[in-house]
Amino acid sequence: MKGLHIFGLSHSYGNNQVLDNVGLMIPAGELVCMLGPSGCGKSTLLRLAGGLEKVQKGNIVIDDVTVGSTEFHLNPEHRRIGLMFQDYALFPHLDTVRNVTFGLIGMDKEKARRKAMEMLDQVGMTSHADKYPHMLSGGQQQRVALARALAPEPKLLLLDEPFSGLDTNMRQRIREETLSVLKQSGVTTLMVTHDPEEAMFMSDRIKIIGAKGRILQVGRPHEIYYHPNHEFVAKLFGMMNQFKGVVRNGQVETPLGEASTDLPDGAEVEVLVRPEGIILEENQSKTETLVELRSSHLLGHDNIVRVRVQGVSKELYVRVHHSFEIELAKQITARLDPEYTFVYALDENVSPPNRYNKSKLVNLQAVTGE
Amino acid sequence: MTSASSSIKIADGTTKVSLSWLNGWTLGTIVIAMIAILPIAAVIFISLTPGDDIWEHLMSTVLTLYISTTLGLMIGVGIGTLLIGVGTAWLVSMCRFPGKRMFEWALLLPMAMPAYVIAYLYTDILEYSGPLQELLRDLFGWKTKREYWFPEIRSLGGAIAMMTLVLYPYVYLLSRAAFMEQSVCVLEASRSLGRGPYRSFFGVALPLARPAIIIGISLVLMEALNDFGTVDFFAVSTFTLGIYDVWLNMNNVAGAAQLATVLLLFVLFLVLSERFARRKQRFHHTTTKYKALPGYLLEGWRGRFATLACALPVVFGFVLPSAVLANYSLVHFEVAMNPEFIGYAVNSFMLSALAAILAVAIGIFMAYGVRLRNERLLKVMVRMASLGYAVPGSVLAVGVLVSLGSIDNGIDGFMRSNFGISTGLLFSGTIAAVTFGYLVRFLALSFGSVEASLGKVTPSMDGAARSLGHGPLSTLRRIHLPMIQGSILTASMMVFVDCMKELPLTVILRPFNFHTLATFVHQYASDEQLGEASLAALSIVGFGILPVIVLSLAITRSRPGHAEEEEVS
Amino acid sequence: MVKKKIMKTREVLKVAALAIVTVILSLTSAFAAEEVNLYSERQPFLMDPLLKAFTEETGIKVNMVYIQKGMLERLKAEGANSPADLILTSDIGNLNNHLEADLLQASQSSILENNIPSHYRHPEGKWYGLTTRARIIFAHKERVKPGEISSYEDLAKAHMKGRVCTRSGKHMYNVSLLASIIAAKGEDAAEAWAKGLKANLARKPQGNDRAQVKAVFQGECDVSIGNTYYMGKMQTNDKSPEQKEWASAVNVIFPNQSDRGTHTNISGAAVTKSAKNKSNAVKLIEFLTSNNAQKIYAEDNFEYPIKKGVALHPLVESWGTFKADTTFLSNVAKQRILATRIMDRVRFDN
């Protein structure tokens, strides 16, 4: 059973518990992304996996070998891992090649250099081999850091917010390149980020982390986006429209019509709708809700539109296709797209049993190796 | 889950190695710290031995005087060295003006000048019967002292001036290093936010350099607190002078140790409150990007002012006193040029070099030990170990005597009673004892600067190196040492120069027939015959400036991105 | 490049280590068969000629450490294993401190008893005086009228207001002088004297004894207090001829000739309790009180030989003979702590 396995990990700094009984599994060769807000303990998890922190409680296993447990700590240098930091941590006194050969211990010089050049070639940095870190741009530094981390062929690669230091233009390109390099190398990868888009783009599987490192949901990007099983997860992907209501006969009344749910009758709930989950149309039947336009901004492919439901003071955020010239519409109606509409109980204990179990099940599966 | 765990094995072989290695650093750090604490502990122990109660007498007579004089000295020297040290460091690092390249190293020169020597020289020049006042009297026809006013050199103000002149290089050195390590981006960010160079300096550069400046100032203050030669010569009643008075004139070593302990607690309080004040601040290198520093071009009167501001401390702290010394040496050459003199110089040089190498090695070991294991106990111990700098030299020497004496006699007693062999004194009165004394005294210098610059290396460097398969030692050697090279050089230079000048520990701890340049100067200086000692004093300065210049150039070169500076400017 | 640098550092380290080992070896291998080990408060430039003569005469090698402060603590810390056989001090105070700390041992020698008058040695032979000096008054030849000053007490009288210069009141020479006044006239009188003297000072106490004469020469003050030998050193200083001028501006006054006599102090020697070469140590003291050695002291350092019949330096002789305060020196030394406290009480230095 190759890959990374984490069991029952708890960790605290002083009185501040950052991880509480966390379990996690990454099958060999997969790229898993931990997505969560800052302070959720994801960096601590990464540091523990890397051996930069000692395990206080729990077990960490890489490729069938326990590298950290309550009683035992294997130092990072013996774990055969690759680590990439937010600030890249390139060694300022070494040029690019020597940064990359740094991890190639025991290899003869010529061979190490060849290997380093190979890695640099993969990331397209051969022409900068003799430069020092301070002479490189952020994107170039990132690529050198990646080459350096991969050169010793680690069993596990840990990436800590690897793209956050880059500007937007470059970020997309670097992401693509990085992904292709990672796929090519087939290394098991754990990446932490607070950027959902990044997580969606990069990973085979996303793990959403809430407070104290609790894993709220595990799934492929598609599942996470379309079936967020937790309010917290749903909200990660940006602005949501929120309505409060009470369940009656499996339905919740919203200003835009009813949303269905399997929560028990009488439960107080919150309905979350993604901006693309509100469908605006011109001049449809009277049964639908009329809204008035407040503002509209073209963002390229989409318009982001603010509308107000007549009689309701609340503004709604809606994403509409650019071809819909909303300013010209005389009368606009709005309805919910059930695919982007999620209902959660306000009181967490009222969650429907099946859904709660489902998330548990996923976790358990992760642990036992699916 | 059970099936899964059955296939899991524990990484073997490396287990013990990895755990014990980490403990080795910690254990080593604790052991070294404990050994270094010994003499300080001995001083505290002596302070607890029975003796005449001096406190009632002191409180009813001179204690307030000691305290106010000492505070005055600290404030004066503190402000003086801050202004000169930081000001010149800023000019030299950030501006371009005539002579800048030379001042980069020349500003360090006064460091090689012992305070007591400069005090003698300036007294000769400035006292009533000195050439300056004689000239003034001739010019204006004054006959007696009462007819005109002239500042009294043998005064608190004089002591402040003398110490400021030779101690400001500590502040200069550390704040210059800090300015050079600052990312130019931070300064540019500040200027882009509409702050001019002056406001950028006070708003950004200065606060960022604060830890380094504080270390510099605290080193200066400890030196000033400990000074005996200058305040004794000027009869300025500082706390330290009081310690010697109680010890030697009242023959009350316990009382002197009590005063020294109070002094120590005072220093400890200052150090801790400073640490507390910036407990939340972290200063890591903000970026790996370095560009040439801006180099504001100062032209016209500004340029001349900058040149003058940098020239004055060098002239008064080094050029003038050296010239006077050189003149004395020529006059007294026959007496001064002793054939054994070369031997003393070699002794001084070797001993100082040995102490500098050891102090820096130990400083690195301890600072890295704390970095690996950031535990409170370790931190406290390490902090205690560098307190030797806060104790007046002779008092610390007594602490070293007592601790080494008890170890020697303990071993001797043990060997006698168990094996019937007497080992005598193994350490007392040997070169090792002197070296040990130097280390205890100057560990604060090396540890402080190494710790400060290690603190600026971001922890992700450690993580990166460790994850790439390098153990703590290899990481230290390949990553940290090269990165903090500049500070290591700085630290060794400071320890070296200080050891060259060091007197009380050498005098009290040395073996028979062993002389250094400083002790050679001392025997004449103690009889107020500086002429005979001038050549030796000049050699201390000469030997001191060699490494100062060489290392200063190396420090400039060690800044990443410095290579391109030539092309840019 | 970095690697190269590290290599270099290593080479340097190796060379340094090697050199240091060599130094230590050369130092330790210098053991001679017959030797005597000396902790000295007196400067090497002063002692070297004497010790050289001793080695030439007896073949006994002398090892010396010059320690001004901390000699007592070093002896104490080293305990019975201390290598020191003998101490030399420049003042009675330190001899007395060592005696009270029980660091000295008695030795008998008829030579020493012959050479040294009894009030200049310990009754049981625990310390011996080697030379004496007097603490005297230097008065400006013109500005101080004959008879204006003839005793230490005169320095504290009203007519000397603003005319006196002296070094720090905490310096052992001045502490000893005050201690002698305590011994002669009691604590209260001594304190009143110190207070009066302070009130008469022309400037804050500073500098050394020579500097005071310089100040008299320059007109800052009219009289100063100093040790006898400084006068000789100034009068013969060819290296700094200006000092001869200073000296020629003043008269030497031996105070208190009509009552208890001038305060004198001694430099001395004592055999340590831990001495392993006791007989050599005694031999060295005997040598230092011999005619030859006493002559060197007198000629080179203008001190008064302790041995009767040894010729004074002609200059010293020219100052005339004087009556010394014969209060037993140990009794004076015992008052030093009190004297220091009085200096504190009258805030002499401020």
pLDDT for the residue numbered C8: 57
A235 and A342 Cβ atoms separated by less than 8 Å: no
What is the per-residue pLDDT across B37-64, written as a single tens digit (0 to 9) for each? Answer: 999 999 999 999 887 788 888 888 888 8
- The Cβ-side half-sphere exposure at B485, using a 13 Å CA radius, reads 23
Separation in Å, CA B278 to CA B46, B214, B272, B429, C134: 35, 11, 10, 43, 59
CB contact under 8 A, B1 and A368: yes
CB contact under 8 A, B468 and A61: no
For the record, the structure tokens of A81 come out as 């891992």
Answer whether residue A247 shows pLDDT above 70: yes
What are the residue boundaries of the structural domains of chain C, listed by start?
A: 31-132+266-311, 133-263+331-345
CB contact under 8 A, C168 and B232: yes
| Chain B adjacent subunits, 3+ CB pairs under 8 A | A, C
Query: Distance (Å) from the C-alpha of residue B304 to the closest C-alpha of chain C?
Result: 39
CB contact under 8 A, A64 and B11: no
Cα(C49)–Cα(C51) distance, rounded to whole angstroms?
Answer: 6
Give the nearest chain A residue to B559 (CA atoms). A93
What is the per-residue pLDDT across B392-420, written as a single tens digit (0 to 9) for each? Answer: 888 899 999 999 999 999 999 988 888 88
A22 and A45 Cβ atoms separated by less than 8 Å: yes
Average pLDDT, chain A: 82
pLDDT for the residue numbered B196: 64
Q: Which of A291-305, B64-78, B175-189, C174-188 has the lowest mean pLDDT?
A: B175-189
CB contact under 8 A, A89 and B460: yes
Q: Considering only residues C246 and A314, tell me which one the structure prediction assigns the higher pLDDT.
A: C246
B332 and B464 Cβ atoms separated by less than 8 Å: no
* Contacts of residue C145, Cβ cutoff 8 Å, sequence gap at least 6: none
* Contacts of residue B31, Cβ cutoff 8 Å, sequence gap at least 6: none
Other residues' Cβ atoms within 10 Å of the Cβ of residue A365: 12
B372 and B26 Cβ atoms separated by less than 8 Å: yes
B111 and B170 Cβ atoms separated by less than 8 Å: yes
B-C contacts (CB, under 8 Å): 187
Q: Give the residue-averaged pLDDT of C2-15.
A: 56
What is the per-residue pLDDT across B323-375, written as a single tens digit (0 to 9) for each? Answer: 998 988 888 777 667 777 888 889 999 999 999 999 999 999 999 988 888 77
Answer whether residue C30 shows pLDDT above 50: no
* Contacts of residue B7, Cβ cutoff 8 Å, sequence gap at least 6: A1, A64
Say whether residue C214 is in contact with chain B using an 8 A CB cutoff. Answer: yes
Please name the residue ranges forming H helices in C59-142. 71-78, 92-100, 110-115
For residue B183, what pLDDT band results from cuts at 50, 70 and 90? low
| Chain C adjacent subunits, 3+ CB pairs under 8 A | B
What is the per-residue pLDDT across B294-326, written as a single tens digit (0 to 9) for each? Answer: 567 777 788 888 899 999 999 999 999 999 989
Answer whether residue A345 shows pLDDT above 50: yes
Q: Is C156 helix (H, G, I), strand (E, B) or coil?
A: coil
From chain B, pick out residues whose CB is under 8 angstroms from the CB of A51: 466-467
Q: What is the dihedral of CA C147, C153, C154, C160, to 10 degrees?
A: 160
Q: Which residue has the tokens 């708890």?
A: A10
HEC-encoded secondary structure of B410-463: HHHHHHHHHHCCCCCCCCCCCHHHHHHHHHHHHHHHHHHHHHHHHHCCCHHHHH
Q: Is B156 helix (H, G, I), strand (E, B) or coil?
A: helix
Do domains C31-132+266-311 and C133-263+331-345 share one topology? The answer is: yes
Other residues' Cβ atoms within 10 Å of the Cβ of residue A86: 16
Answer whether residue C50 shows pLDDT above 90: yes
* DSSP letter assigned to residue B318: I
pLDDT for the residue numbered C285: 96
For the record, the structure tokens of A325 come out as 């010239």
Q: Give the residue-averaged pLDDT of A86-112.
A: 89
Instruction: Residue B455: name the closest of B253, B241, B292, B212 by CA.
Output: B212
CB contact under 8 A, C97 and B251: yes
Bridging pattern class, strands B296-297 and A156-160: unpaired
Average pLDDT, chain C: 88
pLDDT for the residue numbered B280: 58
Query: Distance (Å) from the C-alpha of residue C229 to the closest C-alpha of chain B?
Result: 12
Query: Distance (Å) from the C-alpha of residue B510 to the closest C-alpha of chain C?
Result: 7
A253-257, B241-245, C279-283 — most confident range: C279-283
For C133-263+331-345, which CATH class? alpha beta
pLDDT for the residue numbered A124: 87
CB contact under 8 A, B470 and A91: no
For the record, the structure tokens of C8 come out as 């270099």
Give the nearest chain C residue to B332 (CA atoms). C239
CB contact under 8 A, A87 and B482: no
Give the nearest chain B residue to A75 (CA atoms). B18
Instruction: Residue A318: name the closest of A333, A331, A310, A329 by CA.
Output: A333
CB contact under 8 A, A76 and B8: no
Bridging pattern class, strands C61-66 and C35-40: parallel
Cα(A152)–Cα(A105) distance, rounded to whole angstroms?
Answer: 8
Minimum-distance CB partner of B237 among C5, C74, C349: C349
CB contact under 8 A, B428 and C19: no
For the record, the structure tokens of B200 come out as 């950028």
Instruction: Residue A10: name the closest of A52, A41, A43 by CA.
Output: A41
Say whether residue C239 is in contact with chain B using an 8 A CB cutoff. Answer: yes
Domain C31-132+266-311 falls in which CATH fold? Answer: D-Maltodextrin-Binding Protein; domain 2 (3.40.190)
Q: Is C326 helix (H, G, I), strand (E, B) or coil?
A: coil
From chain A, pick out residues whose CB is under 8 angstroms from the CB of B291: 134
CB contact under 8 A, A74 and B469: no
* Contacts of residue C305, Cβ cutoff 8 Å, sequence gap at least 6: C131, C294, C295, C297, C298, C312
Cα angle, residue B459 at apex, residues B454 and B462 outer, rounded to 5°: 90
CB contact under 8 A, C79 and B405: yes
Bridging pattern class, strands B296-297 and B95-96: parallel
What's CA A151's distance to the chain center, in Å? 25
What is the per-residue pLDDT across C78-125, written as a single tens digit (0 to 9) for each? Answer: 999 999 999 999 888 889 889 999 999 999 999 999 999 988 999 999
Minimum-distance CB partner of B128 among C38, C220, C339: C220
Q: Which residue has the tokens 């300015």?
A: B179
* Contacts of residue B552, Cβ cutoff 8 Å, sequence gap at least 6: B104, B105, B108, B493
Cα(B164)–Cα(C232) distance, rounded to whole angstroms?
Answer: 37
Q: Give the residue-averaged pLDDT of C219-225.
A: 92
Query: Distance (Å) from the C-alpha of residue B380 to the closest C-alpha of chain A?
Result: 19
Tell me which of C344, C346, C347, C350 to substitute to probe the interface with B (most B C-beta atoms closer than 10 Å). C344
pLDDT for the residue numbered B188: 60
Minimum-distance CB partner of B463 among A50, A73, A105: A50
pLDDT for the residue numbered B184: 58
Minimum-distance CB partner of B463 among A61, A65, A89: A89
Cα(A218)–Cα(A367) distance, rounded to whole angstroms?
Answer: 12
* Contacts of residue C289, Cβ cutoff 8 Å, sequence gap at least 6: C111, C112, C115, C116, C128, C130, C306, C307
CB contact under 8 A, B249 and C44: no
Burial of C334 (C-beta count, 10 Å sphere; 0-12/13-18/19+): middle
For the record, the structure tokens of B146 come out as 């009462």
Minimum-distance CB partner of B482 among A76, A79, A93: A93
Tell me which of C218, C230, C236 to substitute to probe the interface with B (most B C-beta atoms closer than 10 Å). C218
Q: Give the residue-averaged pLDDT of B424-436.
A: 91
Instruction: Residue B536: name the closest of B327, B336, B278, B255 by CA.
Output: B336
Query: Distance (Å) from the C-alpha of residue A106 to the closest C-alpha of chain B?
Result: 10
From chain A, pick out residues whose CB is under 8 angstroms from the CB of B8: 5, 61, 64-66
Q: Which residue has the tokens 């050089």?
A: B489
Cα angle, residue C339 at apex, residues C336 and C342 outer, rounded to 5°: 155
From chain C, pick out residues whose CB is under 8 angstroms from the CB of B245: 170, 340
CB contact under 8 A, B464 and A93: no
Answer whether residue B1 shows pLDDT above 50: no
From chain A, pick out residues whose CB is under 8 angstroms from the CB of B15: 72, 74
CB contact under 8 A, C69 and B508: yes
Cα(A70)–Cα(A54) distance, rounded to whole angstroms?
Answer: 8
From chain C, pick out residues whose CB is under 8 angstroms from the CB of B127: 207, 211
pLDDT for the residue numbered C18: 63
Q: Is B521 helix (H, G, I), strand (E, B) or coil?
A: helix
Query: Distance (Å) from the C-alpha of residue B295 to the closest C-alpha of chain A?
Result: 19
CB contact under 8 A, B15 and A105: no
Q: Give the residue-averaged pLDDT of A35-51.
A: 84
Q: Give the residue-averaged pLDDT of A150-174.
A: 85
CB contact under 8 A, A78 and B18: yes
Cα dihedral A334, A335, A341, A344 sign: positive
Answer whether residue C67 shows pLDDT above 60: yes
Other residues' Cβ atoms within 10 Å of the Cβ of residue B281: 10
Give the nearest chain B residue to C25 (CA atoms). B431
Give the domains, in start order, of chain B with CATH numbers: 23-52+328-569 (1.10.3720.10), 61-321 (1.10.3720.10)
What is the per-residue pLDDT across B193-224, written as a single tens digit (0 to 9) for each? Answer: 655 666 677 777 777 788 788 888 988 998 89
HEC-encoded secondary structure of chain A: CCEEEEEEEEEEECCEEEEEEEEEEEECCCEEEEECCCCCCHHHHHHHHHCCCCCCEEEEEECCEEEEECCCECCHHHCCEEEECCCCCCCCCCCHHHHHHCCCCCCCHHHHHHHHHHHHHHCCCHHHCCCCHHHCCHHHHHHHHHHHHHCCCCCEEEEECCCCCCCHHHHHHHHHHHHHHHHHHCCEEEEEECCHHHHHHHCCEEEEECHHHCEEEEECHHHHHHCCCCHHHHHHCCCCEEEEEEEECCEEEECCEEEECCCCCCCEEEEEECHHHEEEEECCCCCCEEEEEEEEEECCCEEEEEEEECCCCCEEEEEEECCCCHHHCCCEEEEECHHHEEEEECCHHHCCHHHHHHHHHHHHHHHHCC
Give the nearest chain C residue to B528 (CA atoms). C208
* Contacts of residue B164, Cβ cutoff 8 Å, sequence gap at least 6: B76, B77, B80, B81, B84
Q: Give the residue-averaged pLDDT of B421-433.
A: 89
Answer whether residue B559 shows pLDDT above 60: no
Tell me which of B467, B477, B558 to substitute to probe the interface with A (most A C-beta atoms closer than 10 Å). B467
For residue B562, what pLDDT band results from cuts at 50, 70 and 90? very low
Write b or e for each residue in B200-238: b if 16 or more Cβ atoms lie within 10 A of its Cβ, otherwise e.
bbeebbbebbbbbbbbbbbbbbbbbbbbbbbbbbbbbbb
What is the per-residue pLDDT across B460-497, written as a single tens digit (0 to 9) for each? Answer: 888 899 989 888 889 999 999 988 887 888 888 889 99
